[in-house]
């Protein structure tokens, strides 16, 4: 049922697609069943207008919604001078829009995505289990917590985030310098440890790199990249055997994290992690008919991936967040989902109805 909640899992208008082909989503042609239709759209701008057929079907009074793509830093001054009614900081695998803790009028959702250090398991560095254990035990999460923004929390559990059923708390390997150094000695790695990451994520990763240098005495070869370079650069895993990335749930189920990221036959297993006992757990969970039994197997799979095999090192959980003017009523955030604009009520005194995502 969670799959059917995805936009690409819902019903599509066959008659429109057959008649117009790819143009069926164009402004003025798109067939919709919701409260709004698209009036204008380009890469950084979207205007929705309420359909006459949608009036009265939902309780809100919003007639028009204008989205403008912007960074949080650029949007806040516009919001403060009254030219925006809402800023939406959607959770995403990149941390470019870190939100200050003292941000007023914020509605914060539960942690719904995971940011983590991933490994190229086909590489001699990334495939070294003792090295992965050493790096995990050398992460000082108390220090990492000092770098957290309002929309982030330190990850101490598994790869499945707290807002999803199947989250397993407190399974990330604990900070233990002695164990970390013993694992590092057994790893037998010499030279720099290269890590690729988005430049915007440096603030989060700096405490991790400092902890590695202090505990292990290892030199971290930082290989940052920018969003402007994304279109032409190779994947981060080809830049370094360790890279920072993230994953958000396409549907609200632990399978979306555990199977898609780590099953050896998954097309989205970017790091090439492979462990037959893990595959067996996932297949048993997919066939288990008892909800309780199914979740138990996914808990075991999360422990195996994060605590036993250190397939990745979870660092942060991200939360969707919205900053609202007092005139906007009815917005809520929860995990992956958020309120529908058709249910919002705007005080007549408001002068704008623009929103930034």
CATH number of the domain enclosing 80: 3.40.190.10
Q: In 3D, which of 185, 102, 184, 171 has the Cα closest to residue 141?
A: 171
Tokens of 206: 């700096």
- Whether residues 171 and 255 fall in one domain: yes
- Whether residues 192 and 176 fall in one domain: yes
Section 13-24 average pLDDT: 91
- Whether residues 313 and 347 fall in one domain: no
Q: What is the phi/psi pair of residue 300, to 5°? A: -60, -40
* pLDDT at residue 235 is higher than 60: yes
Section 277-300 average pLDDT: 96
Kindly state whether residue 100 falls inside one of the protein's structural domains.
Answer: no
- Whether residues 301 and 202 fall in one domain: yes
| Domain residue limits at 140 | 110-317
184: domain CATH number is 3.10.105.10
* pLDDT at residue 339 is higher than 80: no
Sign of the C-alpha dihedral computed for residues 56, 59, 63 and 64 taken in this order: negative
Kindly state whether residue 90 falls inside one of the protein's structural domains.
Answer: no
Kindly state whether residue 91 falls inside one of the protein's structural domains.
Answer: no
Q: Outline where the chain has alpha helix (H).
A: 14-20, 72-80, 129-137, 141-145, 177-187, 202-216, 236-239, 255-262, 276-287, 291-303
- Whether residues 26 and 141 fall in one domain: no
Q: What is the pLDDT of residue 99?
A: 55
Kindly state whether residue 119 falls inside one of the protein's structural domains.
Answer: yes
Q: Outline where 149-197 has alpha helix (H).
A: 177-187
Kindly state whether residue 183 falls inside one of the protein's structural domains.
Answer: yes
- Whether residues 147 and 279 fall in one domain: yes
Kindly state whether residue 93 falls inside one of the protein's structural domains.
Answer: no
The pTM of this model reads: 0.81
Q: How many domains does the chain have?
A: 2
Q: In 3D, which of 328, 334, 330 has the Cα closest to residue 356?
A: 328
Kindly state whether residue 5 falls inside one of the protein's structural domains.
Answer: no
Of the pLDDT bands very low, low, confident and very high (cuts 50, 70, 90), residue 351 is very low
Section 306-320 average pLDDT: 94
- Whether residues 246 and 181 fall in one domain: yes
- Whether residues 27 and 128 fall in one domain: no
Torsion of the alpha carbons at 25, 31, 37 and 41, rounded to the nearest 10: 10
- Whether residues 155 and 131 fall in one domain: yes
- Whether residues 267 and 338 fall in one domain: no
Kindly state whether residue 1 falls inside one of the protein's structural domains.
Answer: no
Span 40-88, pLDDT tens digits: 888 889 999 998 876 677 888 999 999 998 877 788 889 888 899 888 8
- Whether residues 168 and 195 fall in one domain: yes
Of the pLDDT bands very low, low, confident and very high (cuts 50, 70, 90), residue 26 is confident
- Whether residues 156 and 283 fall in one domain: yes
Q: In 3D, which of 94, 66, 51, 44 has the Cα closest to residue 224?
A: 94
Instruction: Please indicate whether residue 120 or residue 88 has the higher confidence score (pLDDT).
Output: 120
């Amino acid at each position: 049922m969670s799959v059917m909640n995805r936009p690409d899992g819902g019903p599509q208008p066959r008659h429109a697609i057959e008649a117009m082909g790819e143009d069926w989503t164009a402004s003025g042609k798109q067939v919709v069943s919701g409260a709004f239709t698209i009036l204008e759209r380009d890469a950084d701008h979207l205007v929705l207008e309420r359909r006459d057929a949608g009036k009265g079907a939902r309780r809100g009074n919003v007639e028009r919604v204008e989205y403008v793509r912007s960074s949080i830093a650029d949007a806040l001054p516009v919001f403060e001078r009254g030219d925006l009614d809402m800023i939406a900081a959607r959770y995403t695998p990149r941390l470019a829009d870190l939100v200050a803790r003292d941000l007023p009028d914020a509605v914060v959702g539960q942690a719904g995505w995971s940011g983590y250090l991933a490994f190229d398991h086909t590489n001699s560095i990334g495939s070294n289990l003792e090295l992965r254990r050493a790096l995990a035990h050398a992460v000082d999460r108390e220090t990492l917590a000092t770098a957290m923004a309002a929309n982030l929390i330190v990850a101490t559990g598994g790869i499945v985030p707290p807002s999803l059923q199947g989250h397993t708390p407190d399974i990330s390997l604990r900070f233990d310098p002695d164990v970390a150094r013993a694992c590092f000695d057994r790893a037998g790695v010499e030279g720099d440890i290269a890590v690729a990451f988005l430049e915007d994520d440096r603030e989060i990763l700096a405490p991790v790199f400092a902890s590695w240098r202090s505990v292990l005495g290892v030199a971290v070869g930082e290989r940052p990249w920018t969003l402007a370079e994304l279109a032409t650069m190779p994947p981060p895993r080809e830049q370094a055997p360790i890279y920072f990335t993230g994953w958000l749930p396409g549907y609200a189920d632990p399978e979306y994290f555990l199977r898609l990221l780590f099953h050896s036959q998954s097309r989205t297993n970017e790091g090439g992690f492979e462990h037959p006992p893990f595959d067996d757990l996932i297949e048993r969970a997919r066939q288990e008919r008892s909800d309780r039994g199914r979740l138990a197997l996914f808990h075991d799979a999360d422990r195996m991936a994060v605590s036993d095999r250190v397939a990745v090192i979870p660092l942060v959980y991200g939360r969707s967040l919205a900053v609202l003017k007092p005139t906007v009523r009815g917005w809520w955030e929860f995990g992956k989902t958020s309120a529908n604009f058709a249910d919002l009520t705007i005080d007549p005194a408001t002068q704008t109805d623009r929103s930034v995502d």
